Amino acid sequence: MPPIPLHRFRPRLLGSLKGYGRDRFLADAGAGLTVGIVALPLAMAFAIASGVKPEAGLFTAIIAGFIISALGGSNVQIGGPAGAFIVIVYGIVERHGLANLLISTVMAGVLLFAMGLLRLGALVRYVPVNIVIGFTNGIAVLIALSQVRDLLGLRIDKLPADFFSQLRAFGQAMHTFNPHALVLGLLCFGGLLLWPRLFKRGDLLPGIHLPDRLTEAGMFQAAARMPGQIVALVTLTLASTLLALPVETIGSRFGGIPQGLPAFALPAFSWQTVQQLFIPTLTIAVLGAVESLLCARVADSLGQSAFPRHDPNQELMAQGVANIVTPFFGGIPATGTIARTVTNLRAGATTPVAGMVHAVVLLAIVLLAAPLALHVPLAVLAGILLFVAWNMGEWHEFARLRQFSLAYRTTLLGTFVLTVVFDLTVAVQVGLVSACVFFIWRMGTLFQAQPVPSGVAGVQVIGLYGALFFGAVGKIEDLADQVPADSRVLVLEMHRLVSMDASGLDALVQLQRALQRRGVRLVLADLNPQPRSLVRRAGFETALGEGGLAATLDEALRRWAPAQPLSPAT
């Protein structure tokens, strides 16, 4: 047995540094600085929404972000905590505890590395697009739902993990509604929506055009390059502090952020724990693989020919290493992040150095400015996450559903509803099963067995179209009853039969036996390579007897046109 071919571990960084000079470094450093600033509020917000302390998100963005860029297979991908993981991480922490989340993340990292090593990166592309849209939109809804507590300033000690329990908790705590928190959150969300429009040709709103002298000013141009999340975070935090608004902050809930990275620590480990964490581990690994490779494909499409396309297997191995290492320093699951990757690309990044600089920038902020995070209102972070959820969801796909088939609509909506109401793991499992069932049904309906005029007395011809597999064998089982009583030969013209599986072959064997009992000969004509190979390997050519396989339909008709005595097939 030949050895399994393994993927060579070769980070994209090694090839990117050939001919690397000062100009490219400055471009990458500028992009890394921009992304590092953008990643700061997102990393904290993702961590808080996931049920862990804000520093866990920062540690993940620093450590995993550096590793993914240094060892990955993409020139511009930025790794770190992602919105897609919020629901998964929160559920694991609620059900199994933080220590088990760290163990599950390490095991998911091992799976990701193994997937890349075994060249399984391409398999992620076979996840149907309607399933991806369904669970992406579902996750976006759950992210938004998880921010209702902080957006409304509700006093809920511990938010439940499941959908209906969360709704019940919101209703029970509605008497603690804080209007100041709502105003801050809505100002943040609205500001993030308007910020890009403000600097796009000077158009703030339809019909409102800013003067050219203002849009051409240096201060205006400098402001245009500022990330909206940082502007919202700084301005609203200052406003909340100066006005002494009675809202919950990072300091009041978590006691602040430590200045420095945590020490290496081993979580408690047992085989009994590993058995309980199998499903969460698999969920983290699969979701991380899908998210990172989708993100890399988006970067490739935006980057066009500016740099080589990503290496999916190398990217999975880098994601694996990052998720193995980061939990030992208090981090949470990491993957490729579309928003930060696109920001990195548009800021002028050309190599993985930009992603490494982004991690260094975050580390410098943690070391120098961590105490300032004490005053950040949680309602502002909720507004940022609402904006992330808004951009994350592909809401236009719901409006386009009527353009697609019933199977497509059912799978997308089913995955969406199951993600929101039950669990992402259940949603993906049911979505994949339903997609397979609908695919089998569709392929079965495409298979046709249609009569073809033969022009020869006693010879019936039926043309087979499509794929003869286990989902279509029912149309073969009825053919024996459709052959007229005076027939001597049944010819199956198989030129348009593209493939056949073992179940299809068995249906032909049963058809041949049924015809033989009636004294009718079965002939297969014009087989494509795959069906012909299967027929010969299974010994069915011998069972058909001499002349049982014909190169063309004309050859079969010429052979059986004369009245010949029919010898029983061997």
Please state, in angstroms and rounded to a whole number, the distance separating the CA atoms of residues 240 and 374: 12
What domains can be seen in the chain, in order of their start residue?
405-444 (no CATH), 447-560 (3.30.750.24)
- Side-chain-side CA neighbours of 419 within 13 Å: the count stands at 30
Contact 73, 318 (CB under 8 A): yes
Please state, in angstroms and rounded to a whole number, the distance separating the CA atoms of residues 79 and 101: 19
- Per residue of the chain (570 residues), what is the pLDDT tens digit? 456 788 889 999 998 888 888 888 998 998 999 899 888 888 998 899 888 999 999 999 999 999 999 999 999 999 999 887 888 898 888 888 888 899 999 999 999 999 999 988 877 767 788 888 888 888 889 888 888 999 999 998 888 877 888 899 999 999 999 999 999 999 999 998 888 776 665 454 455 555 555 555 555 555 556 778 888 889 999 999 999 999 999 988 888 788 777 888 877 767 777 778 888 898 899 889 988 888 888 788 776 666 788 899 999 999 999 999 999 999 999 999 888 888 888 888 889 999 999 999 999 988 888 888 888 999 999 999 898 888 888 898 898 888 888 888 988 999 899 888 887 677 777 887 888 888 888 888 889 999 888 888 889 999 999 999 988 888 888 888 888 888 889 999 999 999 999 999 999 999 999 998 888 999 999 999 999 999 999 999 899 888 889 989 888 888 877 554 444 443
- Name the nearest CA neighbour of 319 among 516, 459, 112: 112
Amino acid identity for residue 139 in this structure = I
Please state, in angstroms and rounded to a whole number, the distance separating the CA atoms of residues 186 and 189: 5
Please list, in sequence order, all residues whose beta carbon lies within 8 angstroms of the beta carbon of residue 431, skipping any fewer than 6 positions away.
128, 130, 131, 134, 135, 411, 414, 415, 418
pTM for the whole structure: 0.76
CA 233 from chain centre, in angstroms, equals: 29
